[in-house]
Structure 1
Amino acid sequence: MKLTIVRADSIVIVDGVSATVDLSDLSTHISAVQWADGRGWIEFEPDARGVQDANLPIADLGRFQVYVDRHAIVVAEARVAETGRRIEAAERKAAEQKARDEHAAALAAAQAEAERAAAAQAEERVDAAERLAALEAQNAALEARLAALESGNG
C-alpha cells in the first residue's frame, strides 16, 4: 500500500485514491506522513523560528492506521452515494420508458379501436346501401303495381 497523509489539506491518499478525511486529531506539528513498500516517514511543520525537524522514519503505520480506516470509510460512502445516484437515474429511466411504452400501447389501442369503428361503419354503409337498393326496388315494384291499378289493368 502507498499512503500519503497531508494534514493541512485534510487529504489522505491510499494507492492513488484521494479523499478528504478528518485529520483534526493529528498533531499540528506533523505536516505529512508518507508510506510505501512497508516503510515510511513523518514530515514535520517548521517551528516558530522556521526550523524544520528532519523526517522521522517509521516502520509501521501504528497510530496512522486510523486515517487509513477513515479514508476507506469516506471512499466507501462515496461509492454507496454514487451507486444510489445511479440507481435513481436507472429508476427514472425505467419509469420514463414505462410511461413511453404505456403511451404507445394506449395509442395502438386507440388506433385499433378507430380501425374497428371504421370497419364497422364501412360494413354499416354496405348494409345501408343494400337495404336502400332493396327498398328502392320494392318501391319501384309497388309504384308499377299502383300504376297498373290506376290504369285499370290491375
Structure 2
Amino acid sequence: MASVQLPLLGFTAAYSGFVLSSARILVLGPSFLFLVYITVNEIVRLRSRVPRLAGPWGYPLVGSLPSIEGKANSEEYRKWAARYGDVFQVQLGNTTAVVVNSAAAARALFIAQREATNGRPIFYVLHKKVQRGGPVTSIGTSPWDESCRRRRKVAATALNKTSVQSYLP
C-alpha cells in the first residue's frame, strides 16, 4: 500500500487500488451510459425515417441541423432537392421532416392525395382536456372525418366571395 503526502492538509493518506477502481467507475460508468444512450437514440432515429424516401443522413443526435445552421434553410433544401429529388426527408435533431420542394410535387402530394394528408393530429390538451373528451368542434385542428368535411364545407360556403360581400352594409 502506497502513501501520499498532502502538504496543504498536513497529513499522509494511504492509497489503495480500491480508490483507483472507484475512479474508473466514476469515469467509465457515465461514458458507457452515454454510449448506450447514443446507440438507442440512433436506432430510434433510424426507425423513424420514412422507408424508400431519400435524404441526407445527418449526424448522431443532431441530424442535419449543423448543415443548415447559419444558412438560409431554403437554399440548403434546394441543394438537397437537386441531389435527392423534389420530395425528400431530413433529420432535424430526432425529428424526421419531409420536405416538399416544388409546386408540382406539392400539388401531387397535397391535392391529388388530399384524403391522406388533410387530417390533423389529436392534441392532448386541446381535445382531451379543454373539450373534455367531447366532440371536436374546431375546423383547423379537427382530425379528418365526415363531420369535419361537413363543417369545412359550411365554412367555405359562408366565407366565399359572394357570401362575404352580402354581409357588408
| Fold match (TM-score > 0.5) | no
Which structure: greater strand fraction?
A: 1
TM range (shorter): under 0.3
- Could you state the TM-score of these two structures normalised by the residue count of structure 1? 0.28
Larger relative contact order, structure 1 or 2 (CA cutoff 8 Å, min sep 6): 1
Q: Considering fraction of residues, name the structure with more helix.
A: 1
